[in-house]
Amino acid sequence: MDRRTLLRLAAGGAVVGAAGLPAWARAAAHAYPSRPLRLVVPFPAGGAADNLGRPLAQQLAGVLGQPVIVENRPGANTVIGADHVANSPADGYTLLLANEAGLSLAPAFAPITHVAVPYDPGKAFSGISLLGQYGSVLSINPKLPVRTLQEFVAYARKQSTRLNYASFGVGSQPQMMMEILNHQAGIDLAHVPYKGVAPALVDLVAGHVQAMISAPSAPLPYLKDGRLRALAYSGAKRLPELPDVPTFAQAGMPDFDARGWFGVVVHADTPQPVQEALRKAVWSVVDSAQYRGAAILANGYEVPEVGPEGFPAFLAQDMARWKQLVALVRNRLV
């Protein structure tokens, strides 16, 4: 899909939805995009999110006919970057590469951590498109005398000294997933938070902590060379890169359901014709063989299960689901 087609679609959308739009919004939709866009990535440069964001920006620039500049704004479990977009002009020129951390988990954790999230995600943002979904892999230090999830649970129950698990911060999805595992399996692993996945992996490989749940991309090299051992994967089916690792359901925990996602959102007040133009543009990239092969599948992610039209409902369901999960394990988090 080229820029001329997108502009025609955007213009058509402006006619359909013109009644509720001010004149400046209709004019902006017809001209969109007339200058470079920014893609705010609320993660450090060079990380797993960048592996989705930078190829997206490159291909999206070709579709829109304008540069798309990646701007890394990490911190506070992605809240800093998300808040920046929530306070940017609602004109479709500032996009957020969002995930469950800032839109679902941080708000759900706020009553427990007493760290205020300065936006209401359900009101501040509008969903454009999923980029990829992911399950997470439970990795352990191979010095533990276990090879299956059930053996790990039995071993953890018998230890007089608590085993430790790593995460990359309080309120992160890895912490939540391990606490759900604690709850469902009836074990009591202690949380050791780190400032990022890299230092957590270093200590896991060294044996200073015994376990961690994370997206597959970070531990994958260590799993392949034997410095870590994978016990289970939380996706709907086995990860192609780890074909011998069962899903949690296959390993005996069918109710363990915790998957993450990455997607693109914009300010909620962005004119609808501009949003529609962005949905078509972003999805044309996500749906391409080039992006799916080099960005999604190559980094251990799963192709989105829903298209742009279903993404807003997906977001609402994800926010509600994580609130329920946080409430379920609240007593372990305080």
Furthest C-alpha separation in the chain? 69
**Structural tokens at position 71:** 């701007």
184 and 268 part of one domain? no
In a domain, 292, yes or no: yes
65 and 176 part of one domain? no
Name the percent of the chain in helix, strand, coil, to the closest 5: 50, 15, 35
Beta-bridge mates of residue 126: 266
Residue 287 DSSP code: T
272-286 helix and 23-31 helix, angle to the nearest 10 degrees:
30
**186 within 8 A of 198, measured Cβ to Cβ:** no
Of 28-32, 95-99, 214-218, which gets the smallest average pLDDT?
28-32
- pLDDT-above-70 percentage for the chain: 90
pLDDT of residue 31: 85
**252 within 8 A of 265, measured Cβ to Cβ:** no
In a domain, 242, yes or no: no
pLDDT at 7 over 90: no
In a domain, 100, yes or no: yes
Range of the domain at 152: 137-233
Could you report the per-residue pLDDT of 47-89, keeping only the tens digit for each? Answer: 878 999 999 999 999 999 999 999 999 988 899 999 999 999 9
156 and 272 part of one domain? no
pLDDT of residue 26: 52
pLDDT of residue 37: 98
Nearest-CA neighbor of 178 among 98, 273, 256, 265? 256
Could you report the per-residue pLDDT of 279-315, keeping only the tens digit for each? Answer: 999 999 999 999 999 999 888 788 998 999 999 999 9
* 37-41/94-99 β-pairing: parallel
Beta-bridge mates of residue 139: 212, 230
217 and 115 part of one domain? no
pLDDT of residue 4: 47
93 and 154 part of one domain? no
In a domain, 250, yes or no: no
**Structural tokens at position 220:** 């994958």
pLDDT of residue 12: 42
Output 244 or 256, whichever has higher pLDDT: 244
Owner of token pair 């015994």: 210
DSSP, collapsed to helix, strand or coil, labels residue 39 as strand
The whole model's pTM is what?
A: 0.81
Out of 199, 233, 267, a domain closes at 233
In a domain, 244, yes or no: no
Output 61 or 43, whichever has higher pLDDT: 61
**28 within 8 A of 274, measured Cβ to Cβ:** yes
11 and 119 part of one domain? yes
Domain count, the chain: 2
pLDDT of residue 259: 82
Out of 216, 233, 250, a domain closes at 233
32 and 91 part of one domain? yes
124 and 265 part of one domain? yes
pLDDT of residue 96: 98
Gyration radius from the chain CA atoms: 21
309: CATH: 3.40.190.150
Could you report the per-residue pLDDT of 136-174, keeping only the tens digit for each? Answer: 999 999 999 999 999 999 999 998 889 999 998 777 888
122 and 143 part of one domain? no
